[in-house]
Structure 1
Amino acid sequence: MTAISAPTNPLHNLLSRVTGDAKHAPSAHSTLDVLWVLYDRVLRISPETADEPDRDRFLLSKGHGPAAYYAVLAAKGFIPEEWLDDLGGWDSPLGHHPDRVLIPGVEAGTGSLGHGLGLAVGTALGLRAQGFDRTRTFVLVGDAELDEGSNHEAIAYAAAAGLALTAVVIDNQSSTHGWPGGIETRFPGWSADVVDGRDHDAIERALREPGRPHLVVARVEPKRG
């Protein structure tokens, strides 16, 4: 088991360079480990293959706190590290929501909660229609974001269509009413794993599960404030 927590960790140092969005710091820290495992161990994508048609797709539905996403993209060479020093600057590519047009490696502009899972369903369906059978689609969602009704339509359709889609839900207990019975009970027809959101090996095993579709609930410390 490994986790990104020590201030001396290079990725932690990159994240510390992204300033000016303090209110979303909990969102960034809650997603950092899952994002790192995705890009370091699982996704079939690199800066050199970012435009290849058969690349894996990743969508950050939880796009209103993208600091960790930017740090991981910098660590993996998609963007220059120097960009991290100017989040939200008037001529900076890094906004408070990720922009597909401005940032290499970003698949969709997100941040309006409740849209990412539906976009991921459409992406997975389109890839299947094009015959990319090896290509997988991943989407990262917040537990509170599941309160948005559009997600439930996407969940039902993905199950009915048997899409090659993996949804990762970061569970920091921030949803208004909680999820009695567990988040996994809200995904009928999906295979599911519930993991410690700081345990890199457990996260990797769950992400490699080829369920059609598959849910990974990554539990992290509760959000405060």
Structure 2
Amino acid sequence: MEPSELERVARQIRLRDLQAVYEAGAGHIGGEMSVIDLLTALYFRVLRVWPDQPRHPDRDRFVLSKGHTACALYVTLAKRGFIPEEEISTFLKPHSRLNGHPNCNKVPGVETNTGPLGHGLPVAVGMAKAAKLSGAKYHTYVVTGDGEMQEGSNWEAIMAAYQFRLDNLTLIIDHNRFQQGASLSDTNDLAPLRPKLEAFGWEVSEINGNDMHAIVPALEHRSDRPHCIVAHTNKGHGISFMQDRVDWHHKVPSKEQYEIALAELSEAL
């Protein structure tokens, strides 16, 4: 897909995500809205995956380390054909396999269980190292939150990735500047992220993470080193009253707010 078509798909995914969170009465809508452009570009342009063969050995690996934004992943997987689109209506309901955090034992297309922050990147490093050891040609991608980068386990993984020369690994940091309860700058301010990753030997790209024309070439870039994309995004992107508001980390829209958001996202289609 070209960027313009990817933008259209991302708007459709945002709309369905909004509906799912509203109907479920729970979710992490702010961070879902910030990461959806990245997920769309990955699944509809970049990742080599086969929905009818979700465990194909040659598939690229994708890890959503910020697992609390699982609803955005489920909607993307459904849109791509991994699960039925009508199943999204079961999100968080009793006995649904679409839990608040993704489960690789239940949901096709999910590579590993995530939720405890700071785990996804170390797992992805293991996946990329396994490919090197076995001679496999798949590429591993992982998305973390910027607040999540405060976890020390991520920096141990970053050191290991450079040590092992994992040029088959791409880290995408969803840098929306907010985490649960506060802004990044008010907790443990890691910004600017780029020089820190470069100091560990990584190649780093810095982009607008809500702009498909910037996202696509960054994701398709290949290096002789591990590659990090610092994706500057907006919490609640696409919905005016949510954007860059810390309280929308896991807040659920009221009926009136839902209708406003629905109108804004529908107008953009």
TM above 0.5: yes
Does the 8 Å CA contact 1:98/1:110 hold for their aligned counterparts? Answer: yes
Partner SS for 2:69: coil
Aligned to 2:119: 115
Verify the 8 A CA contact 1:21 1:96 in the aligned structure 2.
no
1:101 aligns with 2:114: no
State whether structure 2 residue 76 is matched by structure 1 residue 76. Answer: no
Rg larger for: 2
Q: What residue number does 1:124 align with? A: 128
Aligned to 1:216: 229
Aligned twin of 2:189: 178
Identify if the C-alpha distance between structure 1 residues 3 and 189 changes in structure 2 by more than 3 Å, giving closer, same or farther: farther
1 CA distance for matches of 2:117 and 2:82? 25
Aligned partners of 1:30 and 1:54: how far apart in 2? 29
Residue 65 of structure 1: CA displacement?
1.8
- In structure 2, distance between residues paired with 1:166 and 1:160: 15
Indicate which of 10, 17, 26 corresponds to 2:19: 17
Measure how far apart 1:82 and its partner are: 1.4
1:143 aligns with 2:128: no
| 1:25–1:65 Cα contact (<8 Å) kept | yes
Deviation at residue 46 of structure 1 after TM alignment: 2.2
Runs of at least 5 residues in structure 2 that lack an aligned partner in the other structure: 179-183, 235-243, 248-269
Question: Offset at 1:177?
Answer: 2.6
Paired position in structure 1 for 2:218: 206
Report the count of equivalent residues.
223
| Structure 1 unaligned regions, length at least 5 | none
**CA distance, structure 2, for counterparts of residue 3 and residue 200 of structure 1:** 10
| Partner SS, residue 65 of structure 1 | helix
Distance 2:26 2:7 in 1: 18
Partner of 1:165: 169
**CA RMSD of superposed structures (Å):** 2.1
CA–CA separation in structure 1 for the residues paired with 2:66 and 2:143: 6
Find the residue that maps to 2:28 and give its secondary structure. Answer: helix
Give the one of 57, 63, 77 matched to 1:59: 63
The answer to whether the Cα contact below 8 Å between 1:2 and 1:198 also exists between their aligned partners in 2 is no
Task: Tell me how far 1:74 sits from its aligned partner.
Answer: 0.8
Shift of 1:184: 1.5
- Seen in structure 2, the aligned counterparts of structure 1 residues 209 and 5 have a Cα distance that, compared at 3 Å, is closer
CA distance 1:208–1:223, shift in 2 (3 Å): farther
Q: Distance in 2 between matches of 1:16 and 1:55?
A: 29
Moved over 6 A (4+): 3-6
Tell me how far 1:2 sits from its aligned partner: 5.1
The percentage of counterpart residues that share the same residue type is 38
Residue 210 of structure 1: CA displacement?
1.2
Measured in 1, the distance between the counterparts of 2:215 and 2:159 equals: 24
Structure 1 residue 32: Cα displacement: 0.4
Give the superposition deviation at 1:10. 2.7
Instruction: Please give the TM-score of this superposition, normalised by the length of structure 2.
Output: 0.78
- Structure 1 residues 13 and 129: alpha-carbon distance in aligned structure 2, compared to 1, 3 A threshold: same
Q: Structure 1: how far apart are the matches of 2:27 and 2:59? A: 33
